[in-house]
Amino acid sequence: MKLNDYKLIFYTAGLIGVLLIASPALADVIHRPSGELYSELYLLGPNNMADNYPFDIEQGQNNSVYVNVGNDMGSSVYYMLELKFRNETDSSPNSALGTPSSLNSLYEYKFMLEGGKSWESLLTFSISNDTISGNQSVISILVINGLSINVDKPSVWDQNATLFSYELLFELWAYNSQTNDFSYNNRAVDLQLNLTSTDL
């Protein structure tokens, strides 16, 4: 080999070495294309597993679920999680239009979550002052994490499904710095509930 060939090999090896040493610093400057950016929202049962979700509820019975949010937006996000309580006739979120339910929020969480991280909280709930008369039921008070909330929510007996249908609705919102307010994130999950009674 000639001297120029050795110089070329030496320069090439040196350049590769410099790039390998500098690669961690370059990773902060050069961002590779990423996949879809999104937020996750899901519920787990009382054992922190995807089973044994509360369904049949009655007065004085304590129920619980774990609510989880994952941030895959690529940066920190300030989230608000709203909890709503609906019956079969109340509005629900429209994923096609990206609009939330028109119901008022009964309970909310606000938290900052770094990109790539997840948040989890145990939510406990119970009902009190419920009545069942003929084909109609009414839940008067919903207790969420120890906070009693007047809801006075009626439900009509569903002959086909054989239940008094209620739903805990969780909606995810994210802070929008352009509007200085929270915007609906088009993420919602619900927990279907059936009011029962020991008198039935």
My answer on whether 44 and 28 are in the same domain is no
Same domain flag for 86 and 19: no
Domain for residue 128, yes or no? Answer: yes
Q: Are residues 144 and 63 in the same domain?
A: yes
- The answer to the question of residue 200 being in a domain is no
Write the pLDDT tens digit of every residue in 37-73. 999 999 999 999 999 999 999 998 999 999 999 999 9
Question: Of 145, 107, 149, 154, whose CA–CA distance to 128 is shortest?
Answer: 149
The structure's pTM equals 0.80
Closest CA to 193 of 158, 145, 149: 158
If you average pLDDT over residues 70-90, what whole number do you get?
A: 96
Tokens at 24, concatenated: 């961690």
Domain identity same for 117 and 18: no
Task: Report the b/e string of 162-197 with b at 16+ CB within 10 A.
Answer: ebbbbbbbbbbbbeeeeeeebebbbbbbbbebbbbe
What is the spatial distance between Cα 163 and Cα 57, in angstroms, rounded to a whole number?
11
72 shares its domain with 163 = yes
Instruction: Identify whether residues 13 and 73 lie together within a single domain.
Output: no
- Residue 189 falls within a domain, yes or no? yes
**24 and 100 housed in the same domain:** no
Q: Is the pLDDT of residue 84 over 80?
A: yes
CATH number, domain at 160?
A: 2.60.40.10
Same domain, 94 and 28: no
| Rounded average pLDDT over 99-108 | 97
Mean pLDDT of the chain, nearest integer? 87
For residue 143, give its domain range.
38-195
Domain count, the chain: 2
Q: Residue 61 domain-assigned?
A: yes
Which segment of 10-19, 22-31, 49-58 scores lowest on mean pLDDT?
A: 22-31
